[in-house]
Amino acid sequence: MEPILSLANAAARGGAVTLAGQLVRFVIQLTSVAFLARLIDPTDYGLYTMVFAIVGVATVVGDFGLSLAAIQSQTITPQQRTNLFWTNTVIGVALGLIVVCGAPALAAFYGEPAVMPIAQVMAITFVLNALTAQFRAEVSVKLRFAWLAAVDVAAVAIALVVAIWIALLGFGYWALVAQQLTIAAVTLIGLVAAARWLPGLPRRGAQMRALYVYGANTLGVQLFSYLTSNIDSILIGRVWGPAPLGVYDRAYQLFRLPLQQIAAPMTKVAMPVLSRLQTDTRYEKYVQRAQLVLGYTFGGTFWLLAALSDPTIDILLGPGWDQAKPIFTVLAVGGVFQGIGFVYYWVFLSRALTGLQLRWTLIGRSAMVACMAVGVIWGPLGVAIGATIGQVINWTLQTIFPMGKTGLRRGPLIAIAIRPIALFAPISVVCVLLSYTVMTMWNPWAELAVLVPLLGAYFALATLVPRVRTDYSQLFDVARRLRRR
């Protein structure tokens, strides 16, 4: 058994470094959204999103779930890791070629000729991401979280400079394509340097079956999650065209920032730590603490985003994006349930229950697709409402059924998740009502000057509730641990 202090320190260190890196990354990406929204029009965003919504699936397939298989396994050999690298590479190259050849059909599907060259150039990212997968896994297994954070920050910073430069030259959607290519290239270079590992030649007899089965199940979950997370863009693009899709995409990208900056990076810390604890008595305690942190982080972040959606869109995107405001508000509510569900994801992966996870992901996400397909009748806002209803359904199904088979007690996890929702939801509703009634003609900075103090006073009064006060205390304890690292 690994010493508890050693593992706790590694987790705290990793959490501190990751959160610091993601804070910087968040600022860069927010800057990217604000600058590029003023340099690129909604139609160009729509054309880019049409491509990314479909061919981006190759990025998920190129990994084949094998990086997580390498992290979860406690007995992986150097030859097995080498074989995983070459498997990723072959899949990535094959998918890149498929996208290049299929680009004309994709352009015909949307009725937009510009889609074809965008897709063909974007195919390069699939090869780069496939090459990166096992280097990222190697860095994660070695708990080198500082390198992971540094590489992620450097990639988005360099990509932002490239994108702004190309946008200023007037190349529209090519700035967005170049941004994605730059992120993929810089990430690969940085992780190769950090891993201090190079693959050998592939060989037979390395007992790959268990790793491939784990990877295939994980791929099924990731692939179906990706498809159902992007079906909204496909539906809007096909039914309503590039301009409405461009508006929806800007709201969606702002909504996605907290998920990208908190949940996904924290998975890099949680997975190696929980995988080492998968048969340990400390496991449930770690899971409950993770649920508390994510519950308040996502509950707070997304409800606050919903509360401040009106002035936030005005300030970040500028004039001409008013239609994005209600879309952003609705998506933020769904983000609460998507965020707190990440703990379930960590449990399934760390305990190798990927088959169970896959079955219930197919069921829950299918319900989400049905809701969005109905919602597209009412345009982008209808799709956003369908997506949010689907997130609630998916979280509920995951809680009731597969989590009951993990050996963990569901009651404490549900209580921990519900408390921040009950705390944040009422004040968020009040703020939204004020924005859309009393403050409709206000300057966005004036709105913030009223709403932010109102939110602060509410959260201060919430400390009078004993259970909330206890939760705050535990969160401060986590924060103190992070600062000490």
Q: For 448-481, how does the pLDDT look when each residue is reduced to its tens digit (9 = 90+)?
A: 999 999 999 998 999 899 998 898 888 887 766 6
20, two tokens: 């610091």
Give whole-number Cα distances, 308 to 251, 315, 341, in Å. 13, 11, 24
Residues 6+ apart with CB under 8 A from 465: none
Please report the DSSP string for 464-484 in residue order. Answer: GSHHHHHHHHHHHHHHHHHHH
Written as six digits, the tokens of 265 are: 């990076």
Tokens encoding 457 = 């006073």
- The residue among 261 and 359 whose pLDDT is bigger is 359
CA distance 485 to 478: 11
Task: Examine the pLDDT at 181 and tell me if it is beyond 90.
Answer: yes
Give me the chain's average pLDDT, please.
Answer: 84
**Amino acid 186: pLDDT:** 94
Which H helix or E strand runs over 304?
A: helix 283-307
Which residue is it, tokens 């705290």?
Answer: 12
Label residue 5 by pLDDT band (50, 70, 90): very low
> Residue 206 gets which letter from DSSP?
S
Q: Which has more pLDDT, 70 or 83?
A: 83
pLDDT > 80? residue 484: no
d(CA 13, CA 121): 39
d(CA 436, CA 23): 30
Integer CA distances (angstroms), 86 to 70, 187, 404, in order = 13, 18, 37
What pLDDT digit, counting tens, does each position of 16-48 carry?
666 677 678 778 877 887 788 888 888 888 888
State the Cα–Cα distance between residues 15 and 478, nearest whole angstrom. Answer: 10
CA distance 137 to 81: 9
Angle at 195 between CA 192 and CA 198, to 5 degrees: 70
Least confident range from 62-71, 345-354, 369-378: namely 62-71
Tell whether the model's pLDDT for residue 136 goes beyond 60: yes
- The helix/strand count (H/E) of the chain reads as 20, 0
Count of domains observed in the chain: 1
Q: How far apart are CA 30 and CA 12, in angstroms?
A: 26
For tokens 């799709």, name the residue: 383
- Alpha-carbon distance of 341 to 485, in angstroms, equals 27
Q: What are phi and psi of 461, to 5 degrees?
A: -65, -30
Q: Rounded mean pLDDT of 370-398?
A: 94
- By residue range, what is the domain housing residue 376? 4-484
Is 215 exposed, middle or buried, given 0-12, 13-18 or 19+ CB atoms closer than 10 A?
buried
This model's pTM is above 0.85: no
> Which pLDDT belongs to residue 117?
94
Confidence of residue 423 (pLDDT cuts 50, 70, 90): very high
* DSSP character at residue 402: G
- Higher pLDDT among residues 424 and 13, named by residue: 424
| Residue 62 confidence (pLDDT) | 58
Q: What is the pLDDT of residues 196-242, one digit of tens each?
A: 888 888 888 777 888 878 877 877 777 777 777 778 888 898 898 88
Neighbouring residues of 53: CB distance < 8 A, sequence distance ≥ 6: 230, 231, 233, 234, 237
